[in-house]
Amino acid sequence: MGMEVRMNVIKRNGQEVPFDVRKIQNAIKKANESVDKLHQMNPYQVEAVADNVAGRCRDMGRAVSVEEIQDMVETGIMEMRGYEVAQSYVRYRYKRSLARKSNTTDNGILSLIDQSNEEAMQENSNKNPVINSTQRDYMAGEVSKDLTKRILLPEDIVRAHEEGIIHFHDMDYYAQKEHNCDLINLEDMLQNGTVISETMIEKPKSFYTACNITTQIIAQVASNQYGGQSFTLAHLAPFVDLSRRKIRGQVIEEREECGEPLDEAIIEKIVARRLKQEIRSGIQTIQYQLITLMTCNGQAPFVTMFMYLDEVPAGRTRDDLAMMIEEVLNQRIQGVKNEKGVWITPAFPKLIYVLDEDNIHEDSPYWYLTQLAAKCTAKRMVPDYISAKVEKQLKKGSVYTCMGCRSFLTVEESQKNEDGSYKFYGRFNQGVVTINLVDVACSSEGDMDKFWEILDERLELCHRALRCRHERLKGTVSDVAPILWQYGALARLKKGETIDKLLYNGYSTISLGYAGLSEMCWRMMGTSHTSPEGREFALKVMQRLNDKCAEWKKAENISYSVYGTPMESTTYRFAKCLQRRFGTIPHVTDKNYITNSYHVHVTENIDAFHKLKFESDFQKLSPGGAISYVEVPDLQNNLDAVLSVMKYIYDNIMYAELNTKSDYCEVCGYEGEIKIVTDENGKLVWECPNCGNRDQRKMSVARRTCGYIGTQFWNQGRTQEIKDRVLHL
């Protein structure tokens, strides 16, 4: 025999383990011994069936599931004419499956507590699955999922989800009436007061207090929803001048008391110095509080901080905002200390920096901030960049942030502020259902007419699933989350009033997600969507998704929008389902992941500039949210390269980020890129290239997986995707 091919089996709890032929032999032996001697197979036949199954598994070239192996065993016994043995085996299987069905949740929960449920544990790279509060959230999630699948959702939608035809996101929060993500109306809450945990919070009288209240608001909001949230620093900018005046009064008072002369130049100097110190403390409060807070779902709040100079009037307020942005960037470059006292890259808050005329050219007044942002991106992977120029073209002249990592509100004529500008703060997203485009292509077997027919059927399925999300939120009373619905984060409804009016007429959006545009093209066209004919087909498909959303919106007055799904756990699940349904097809189902939204495949060689230019056409057709990235090496010593990419983003694409590397090995102190290698069991593991350390507890790795930075490691599918990424610079 040549080299032994390593194979893995996917157990029912999602864990991947090495294939062991003895387990198959034992199962057949048990079934064999349970029938009378006359009908038993001989030992050679038992071994032959087991070897035959092992061979078939090996030929599949992918991890096989326990169910698939059992099907093969059944067929194998029948082929040996061991009918009675086969019957016994089937009966045993049926009995076991009944026992499992009676309470699927028990195993899920128990395996979570034992930390062996790999699927659940690596579902979210920002949750540490060992911690009690996370486990509690996951346990509640398992129960909610069970209720949702058995009782709350129509059977065909659950089946489509299980088969990976669609993905019904955040099923673990569906039983509760929670929404997905939003833009916090911080301005309303700070200027007009709010209530937190039944305590009246009045308008803050200083910048530092405003920062403190902001972190409290964010924690409360995060505990009442399951998706990301964003706030803008512009809403905090007016409080800088409040502090300036307050400090000035104190300085004059102190000098008078001490009999010092009231020299204007000296007073100015002291005030400026103390104000700078207050800004530093305020920003530090936000950055530190947010990563040390633990919300009720066992993680730091998924929060994005928006930095857009022109969101406030030119003059003193804008200069104050610039001071705040400078402080945010400086503190982020430094990072945070881990328990060993080493400065590492924090995952939150995510930062978005808007590129505009007043900061993008060498002679722009705020160019120094853009240079600082480049330095920060090179070291800490954030900020990400929004081009004011391109966003204005796509969003009717508006510039605004996404909700969390990439979900964008749509511009709605029905939603305007008193001054006539479009309203964004206070609006939210109701939830996401994603269509697996690769499955549509594989199901149509490359036949174009069939493809469009199946696509329309599947879109209708997604539509019904999205309606389930919408109906679930209907009738929710504002009292379930006072901070959101009564005290200004999203609205100021009365006690006992339902949120129904906010679900229609453009106040909130609901998202049709899509995944695997690249693999879909390979299956239908035999080429990637970066080829001219592939691109034309891919854009047509994207247009169809948009047309459907427009049709549903017109009929129902619900704002459906097309959304480039962040594929964290979905990517692996979809890939496994595709392999099971269609086998291994080169470029289509031959990986343990499928590609994020419209992205160029991670293995495709393309330079940063061509990639951004190519993907910008698809961002236009993803109005409900999308983000593009370029994969770059460590650029800390090449800030000119970072700045040239930033300038290119400004001219060509609305929203993009640079995936840099910044890891740390605690064993040897190595700071650079920790690599992914394959271990002796065929499993992907992280290894320090300097000292060979493979203990995940002794390294800190930060990678961007879907717009957010993850720091708690990833499932095998996502790890393979990270390993396969090629550099674009």
151: exposed, middle or buried (Cβ count in 10 Å: 0-12, 13-18, 19+): exposed
pLDDT of residue 206: 98
Contact between 359 and 302 (Cβ < 8 Å) = no
Residue 577, both tokens:
């389902």
pLDDT of residue 381: 92
Q: What is the dihedral of CA 387, 390, 392, 398, to 10 degrees?
A: -40
Separation in Å, CA 127 to CA 7, 337, 393, 550: 29, 19, 37, 36
Which positions are catalytic? 180-181, 403, 405, 407, 429, 563, 568, 707
Contact between 122 and 715 (Cβ < 8 Å) = yes
- CA–CA separation, 348 vs 304, rounded Å? 8
SS3 label, residue 583: coil
Q: Could you give the residue ranges of the DSSP H alpha helices within 179-263?
A: 186-192, 207-222, 238-257
Q: What is the pTM of this model?
A: 0.87
- CA–CA separation, 354 vs 669, rounded Å? 35
- Tell me the pairing of strands 663-665 and 699-700: antiparallel
C-alpha dihedral sign at 404, 410, 413, 414? negative
Tell me whether the omega of the peptide bond preceding residue 349 falls within 30 degrees of 0, making it cis: yes
pLDDT of residue 703: 85
H or E stretch covering 628: strand 628-631
pLDDT of residue 121: 52
Which positions ≥6 away from 294 have C-beta within 8 Å?
Answer: 131, 133, 300
DSSP assignment of 124-158 equals: -TTS-TTSHHHHHHHHHHHHHHHHIIIIIS-HHHH
Least Cα distance to 129 among 143, 113, 146, 141 occurs for 113
SS3 label, residue 525: helix
pLDDT of residue 617: 97
pLDDT of residue 296: 58
pLDDT of residue 683: 86
Which positions ≥6 away from 159 have C-beta within 8 Å?
Answer: none
Residue 507, both tokens:
């106040």
421: exposed, middle or buried (Cβ count in 10 Å: 0-12, 13-18, 19+): exposed
Q: Could you give the residue ranges of the DSSP H alpha helices within 61-205?
A: 66-79, 83-102, 104-113, 118-121, 132-147, 155-162, 186-192
Least Cα distance to 396 among 359, 423, 374 occurs for 423
Amino acid at 356: D
DSSP state of 338: -
pLDDT of residue 1: 35
pLDDT of residue 3: 40
Residue 726, both tokens:
């090629």
pLDDT of residue 2: 39
Q: How many other CB atoms are found less than 10 A from the CB of residue 107?
A: 14
Helix axes 316-334, 367-380, angle to 10 degrees: 20
Domain ranges of the chain: 8-102
SS3 label, residue 343: strand
Contact between 558 and 583 (Cβ < 8 Å) = no
Separation in Å, CA 490 to CA 210, 227, 237, 505: 18, 14, 20, 15
pLDDT of residue 178: 94
pLDDT, averaged in runs of 10, over the chain (729 residues): 63 80 91 91 92 90 87 91 89 81 65 60 58 76 87 95 95 92 98 94 97 95 93 98 98 96 96 98 92 67 94 98 98 89 86 98 98 96 97 98 95 96 98 98 97 98 98 96 97 98 98 97 98 98 98 98 85 90 94 93 95 97 96 91 97 96 87 89 91 92 74 76 88
Strand residues in 404-482 grouped as ranges (E): 428-436
Residue 43, both tokens:
């030992």
H or E stretch covering 509: strand 508-515
- CA–CA separation, 512 vs 284, rounded Å? 37
